[in-house]
Structure 1
Amino acid sequence: MSGGSAKPGRRKAAGSSLRYEHRPGRPASGAKKRMTVGEKAFGCLVLPGFVLLIMPLVFFKMHWGHDVWGELAPGWPGGAYAFAATVGALVPLVFLAWVVPLTRMTWKKSKPRSLAWAAASLPGLAACYLVAGVIGAYARPKHRSDWGSRCYGVGGPCWTHERYPYLWVVGLAATLAVIVLLIGVAVKYSGRSGSSAEASEPAPASRPSTTGPSATPTPCCPTRTPDRRRPG
């Protein structure tokens, strides 16, 4: 055989015949998205804002933590466990006092009213900080190496844990009990409002009937046929 078995060469890929033009209003596919000035400012303010939010709690623990758990809690009516129950019951209440006014804000409809609701939420926010500061003053340091003389002093976290070991159980139970109570009240209130709304709705007007009154059936009287005489 004269001809060799040569493999056919691979075809070259066809060149792209369609080229998409870049529209001026749309970003290029390969271009990176640039951050806006607001995004940059938000990124720069995250860490300072977090520190600013934490500082009041640290300040409260340093200056008033020992006084709260060393003097106020033991002198509370019912003792330190009653104080822990009171603090635990206040947790959901102060949270609602802060959040509920914020849910009423509508910037698009009325900015002055929204600012008024924001101002109304500030006492709830202050109460949240106060309760969180009391709870934070009860927490012991994470590392045992920090459990020094200040921690074991009167009113310190270590002293409070040794003297009242079940304060956190009482506080948590009080928090859960108040949450369950609030949910029950909300469910009961929503059920009453729904039933009152249904009762206030007017009854649909009855349409006049187009058909005439149905004729009363008359008793059928069988027709009496004359007596036929039998042929004699």
Structure 2
Amino acid sequence: MAGSAKPGRRRAAAAAYRPGRSVRTPGPGHKPDKARKPWGQKLKDGGFVALCITGGMAVFVGLVLGPGRLAADWWHEVAPHWPGAGYGFALTVGGAWPLALTLAIWPLTRTNFKLRRARSVVLAATSVPGWAACVMLFALSMQTLRPKSRRGRSCSDGDSSFSAYCWVHAHAPYAWAVILLGFVLGAALLVGAELLRQRLGRSSSPQAEDSPAPSVT
């Protein structure tokens, strides 16, 4: 019979109407939901992150306790014999800051723990010496700040708790300003060296060969 459904085949039932709920069909650009990680993988990732944080804190505490004691000795024993005495030593400390920060931060920008975990761990380990240098430089820089008097005592009273800071303030009172100057000069040198490296890289790259001239018939 013309216009009737084929025998033996049922028509699909219409979707039931539910008030207050709309049926959404995924579009052509729809992305499927990401599969959830199992609890075992979550615990493994969380344990790895906790281990890294604990190890980093242990290293940081060790570095703080060590340089904090060595900084005063360096100012007392090394700075007087340094070229330029106290101010020359302060200029060196300031100039070393940009290099130490670069060595500490640059390897971390190359890490990707999701795709290359082993390589990222190695890169993170290579940044530890840079952070150690930053902690030592921070301790040396803090020695240049004159402490506030406590309970009416000051550097002029010969307070033993201020002996390290008072020694630096007496021999190089403006060492903190020289450290800032050294930081600016060191950063300028690093930026200039990077620009020079990029310019040399572009000049040494192979140039495109000239296209042959068309023949005249």
Q: TM-score range by the shorter chain?
A: 0.5 to 0.7
Which residue is 2:36 aligned to?
Answer: none
Aligned residue runs from structure 1 range 103-142, under 5 A: 103-141=109-147
What is the Cα deviation at residue 116 of structure 1? 1.8
What is the Cα deviation at residue 64 of structure 1? 3.2
Which structure is larger by alpha-carbon Rg, 1 or 2?
Answer: 1
What is the Cα deviation at residue 202 of structure 1? 3.1
Query: Is residue 107 of structure 2 the alignment partner of residue 101 of structure 1?
Result: yes
Q: 2:149 aligns with which of 144, 150, 154?
A: 144
Unaligned runs of 5+ in 1: 1-17, 24-36, 214-232
Aligned residue runs from structure 1 range 11-30, under 5 A: 19=20
Paired residue secondary structure (2:89): helix
Once the two structures are superposed, residues 28-87 of structure 1 have per-residue CA deviations (whole angstroms, 9 ceiling, x without a partner) of xxxxxxxxx999xx9xxx9xx8898577436643x3343222233223343111111111
What is the Cα deviation at residue 92 of structure 1? 0.9
What is the Cα deviation at residue 181 of structure 1? 1.3
C-alpha contact (below 8 Å) 1:69/1:138 kept by paired residues: no
TM-score when normalising by structure 1: 0.58
Structure with bigger helix share is 2
Q: 1:162 to 1:151 in 2, by over 3 A?
A: farther
Which residue is 2:92 aligned to?
Answer: 86
What is the Cα deviation at residue 91 of structure 1? 0.8
Aligned partners of 1:185 and 1:52: how far apart in 2?
32
Q: 1:189 to 1:78 in 2, by over 3 A?
A: same
Aligned partners of 2:62 and 2:122: how far apart in 1?
27
Count the aligned residue pairs.
177
Query: Is residue 180 of structure 2 the alignment partner of residue 175 of structure 1?
Result: no
Aligned partners of 2:61 and 2:141: how far apart in 1?
14
TM-score when normalising by structure 2: 0.61
Aligned partners of 1:77 and 1:107: how far apart in 2?
45
Which residue is 1:9 aligned to?
Answer: none
- Percentage of pairs with the same residue: 30
Once the two structures are superposed, residues 117-151 of structure 1 have per-residue CA deviations (whole angstroms, 9 ceiling, x without a partner) of 2222121121111111211233333x432755135
Aligned partners of 2:194 and 2:177: how far apart in 1?
26
Q: 2:208 aligns with which of 197, 202, 227?
A: 202
Which residue is 1:57 aligned to?
Answer: 64
Aligned partners of 2:97 and 2:77: how far apart in 1?
21
Which residue is 1:69 aligned to?
Answer: 75
Q: 1:208 to 1:163 in 2, by over 3 A?
A: closer
What amino acid does structure 1 have at the position aligned with 2:112? T
Paired residue secondary structure (2:121): helix
What is the Cα deviation at residue 163 of structure 1? 2.7
Aligned-pair Cα RMSD in Å: 4.1
Q: 1:112 to 1:168 in 2, by over 3 A?
A: same
Aligned partners of 1:65 and 1:186: how far apart in 2?
31
Once the two structures are superposed, residues 145-185 of structure 1 have per-residue CA deviations (whole angstroms, 9 ceiling, x without a partner) of 275513542xx213321331121222222221111111111
What amino acid does structure 2 have at the position aligned with 1:124? G
